[in-house]
Amino acid sequence: MDRMIYTALNALSNQRDQRVTQAQNLANQNVPGFRRDLNNEGEAWFAGALNTEMVRAFQTETGPAGFSEESGPLQQTGSDLDIAVIDEGYFYVRPDGIGDPALSRRGDLRRTVDGTLANGAGDTILDTNMQPVQVPEYREIQITDIGEIWVDPIDANPNDPPILVGTLATVIPDPNQQLLKGGDGQIRNADGTVPPPNQLASLSQGVLEGSNVNTVEELVNSIEMQRSFELGIRMVSTASKLDEAGERLLRAPDA
């Protein structure tokens, strides 16, 4: 009886964490380049007491959960500052302009008042030297598939050729390298660093990648999770009734 109750409560605790992950995914379904969070399956551990293992086992989380690296849908926007990584790869960003460098797929860029390129979340875009990309006022801008940024400055003569103002840093990480989301929601190596740029990613201008969250799949999982939650509550209620029935059987008869 004791094991039945604790097994059901442990399952309910795990479902709570899954609901948090699911809520995070649904909340970011319209964020460009968002990578869907995955549930942390964890491992089963036996409870110990007085240096001996007990028969009661628990499933617990073991470190941060991963995320889906599937590409999101691509949408033609025609905007000069919308860019997308085609297939594999990441940009480099500095969260809020002051954080540690991180990897990102969010390509809804804009030029700030001081000429720095940033994405829609306010993260600064970095160049191959891990410095903020600076873009002067321009009449026309072109971003090539290797990340080079060519502009026609607004004060240049119409016949002057475009000038190269920087190159976006990109990377296709080693497949054996584990990438995780940190507490700030940014993608980095497991040790908090980022892999060095290798400029292997291919970019497309005028295209924006959407979130890879599948709304229908998340809603179906939500229904299944609700049923599992109700089953867990029912198990706890049944165990309570069985325990009360056993107590009545063991109770001494009234004199």
For the chain, what are the domain ranges? 2-67+213-250, 74-209
Residues contacting residue 224 through CB under 8 Å, at least 6 positions apart: none
pLDDT value of residue 97: 79
Q: Label residue 61 by pLDDT band (50, 70, 90).
A: low
Burial (0-12, 13-18, 19+ Cβ within 10 Å), 80: middle
Mean pLDDT of 135-162: 91
Greatest Cα pair distance, the chain, in angstroms, is: 111
- Of residues 8 and 164, more confidence is placed in 164
Phi, psi of 6 (to 5 degrees): -70, -35
pLDDT exceeds 70 at position 77: yes
What one-character DSSP code corresponds to residue 11?
H
Instruction: Name the nearest CA neighbour of 32 among 4, 73, 64, 3.
Output: 73
State how far the Cα of 38 lies from the Cα of 212, in Å rounded to an integer. 12
pLDDT value of residue 155: 84
pLDDT exceeds 90 at position 18: no
State how far the Cα of 194 lies from the Cα of 171, in Å rounded to an integer. 10
In the chain, the percentage of residues whose pLDDT exceeds 90 is 48
pLDDT value of residue 58: 57
Mean pLDDT of 119-143: 94
C-alpha dihedral sign at 195, 197, 199, 204: positive
pLDDT value of residue 60: 58
**pLDDT tens track for 163-199:** 999 999 999 999 888 899 988 889 999 888 999 999 9
Mean pLDDT of 103-118: 94
State how far the Cα of 95 lies from the Cα of 215, in Å rounded to an integer. 27
State how far the Cα of 34 lies from the Cα of 152, in Å rounded to an integer. 32
* Across 135-144, 152-161, 177-186, 245-254, least confident range: 245-254
Q: Give me the chain's average pLDDT, please.
A: 83
Instruction: Name the nearest CA neighbour of 8 among 64, 56, 63, 62.
Output: 56
pLDDT exceeds 60 at position 38: yes
Burial (0-12, 13-18, 19+ Cβ within 10 Å), 61: middle
Amino acid at 17: D
Alpha-helical (H) ranges within the chain are 2-27, 215-250
pTM equals: 0.76
pLDDT value of residue 35: 92
pLDDT value of residue 98: 85
Burial (0-12, 13-18, 19+ Cβ within 10 Å), 250: exposed
* Across 93-107, 201-215, 218-232, least confident range: 218-232
